[in-house]
Amino acid sequence: MIRLQDVTVAYGNRVILDHINLDIRDGETLTILGASGSGKSTILRLIIGLQRPTDGKILINGEDITVYQEKQLDEVRMHMGMVFQYSALFDSMTVGENVAFGLRQRTHKSEEEIQRIVWEKLHLVGLDDSMAMLPNNLSGGMKKRVSLARAIAMDPEIILYDEPTAGLDPLRCMDINRLILSMQRHFGVTSVVVTHDMTSAFYISDRLALLQDGRFRLVAPREEFKNTDDREVQRFIHGGEFPEEGRKAT
Ligand SMILES: Nc1ncnc2c1ncn2[C@@H]1O[C@H](COP(=O)(O)OP(=O)(O)OP(=O)(O)O)[C@@H](O)[C@H]1O
C-alpha cells in the first residue's frame, strides 16, 4: 500500500500540498485530478522518491521512504515504473535499448534474457516491429507505448502515469487506456494516474481524487465521484461548465 501521511510540500511561503492524506490500495487504479499547477505531478514525484516532502511521511508497504538514502530509494524504485508526461525516452537509443535500459543498469540478467524481456514487453504494448527504431521516428502514441514498455520491463508492483494520454488522438488514447487496464487486470499492479483527460479517468479508475488549493476536495470510487453533488467537483468534471449550461441539441 502507498500512504501519504500528513504530507506538506512548500516552496518558500508557497504551499503546494497542505497536510494531505491518501491511501492507495494494492491493485487499485487511482487517478489524481486537479487544475494545472495544483500539485498532481508533485505527488507522483513524492511516491517515487524523486522529491522529499517539506513535512509528513510517504509510506510504501509500511516503510517511510522520506528518510531513505539514495541507495535505499533505488531499491524501492526497482518495484515501480513511471510513464513520464513527455515519454522521456533516450533519443540516441533504439526502442529496444530504451526498454532494456533499466534491466541493464539495475539487474544482472544475461543479454539473452534481457532481449527476451524487451521483446515480450514490446509485444504487450503492440510494438513488435519497432525494436530497432529511434524515438524521433515514432508517433506520440508509439512513444507513450515505448515508455510504458520501459516502465513495465522490471515487472513493477506500482506504475505511475503522468498524463499518459496527453496529446494523443481519441483512438490512441483508448489504446493507452486499455493498456493501463490490462496492466491492472493481468499483473495486479497498483496504478496512480495523473490526467486532465476525464474520459480516460472514468474509464480506467477505481477511485478518483480531486486536488484543490493544496487539499483533496474529494476522494471517492468512480461512480460516487461521477455523481457527487459537490458543485465544484461537477464543475471540474465538466470543464468549468455545468452540462445544462452547454449547447442544447437542435
Ligand atoms: N522547484 C520548484 N520551485 C518552485 N515551485 C515549484 C517547483 N516545482 C514545482 N513548483 C510549483 O509547484 C506547483 C505544482 O507543480 P506540479 O508539477 O505538481 O503541478 P501539476 O498539478 O502536475 O501541474 P500540470 O497539470 O500543469 O502538470 C506548480 O505551481 C509549480 O510551479
Domain ranges of the chain: 27-45+74-240
46 closest CA partner among 33, 62, 61, 64:
64
User: Would you state the pLDDT for residue 250?
Assistant: 57
Q: What is the pTM of this model?
A: 0.91
User: Would you state the pLDDT for residue 167?
Assistant: 82
- For residue 37 and ligand 1, the question of a CB distance below 6 A is answered with yes
- For residue 36 and ligand 1, the question of a CB distance below 6 A is answered with yes
244 pLDDT more than 70: no
- For residue 87 and ligand 1, the question of a CB distance below 6 A is answered with no
144 pLDDT more than 90: no
Q: What does the alpha-carbon distance between residue 135 and residue 99 come to, in Å, rounded to a whole number?
A: 12
Contact 150, 120 (CB under 8 A): no
Q: How far is the CA of 38 from the centre of ligand 1 (A)?
A: 7
247 pLDDT more than 80: no
Q: What does the alpha-carbon distance between residue 56 and residue 72 come to, in Å, rounded to a whole number?
A: 19
Of residues 245 and 53, which shows the higher confidence score?
53
Of residues 30 and 124, which shows the higher confidence score?
30
243 pLDDT more than 60: no
DSSP states of 121-171 as a string?
A: HHHHTT-GGGTT--GGGS-HHHHHHHHHHHHHTT--SEEEEESTTTT--HH
By mean pLDDT, which of 55-69, 175-189, 207-221 is the weakest? 175-189
* Cell representation of residue 100: 532494456
CATH superfamily of 27-45+74-240: P-loop containing nucleotide triphosphate hydrolases (3.40.50.300)
- Residues 41-95: tens digit of each pLDDT: 999 999 999 999 999 999 999 999 999 999 999 999 999 999 987 778 999 999 9
Q: What does the alpha-carbon distance between residue 219 and residue 32 come to, in Å, rounded to a whole number?
A: 9
**ipTM of the predicted structure?**
0.95
Contact 174, 192 (CB under 8 A): no
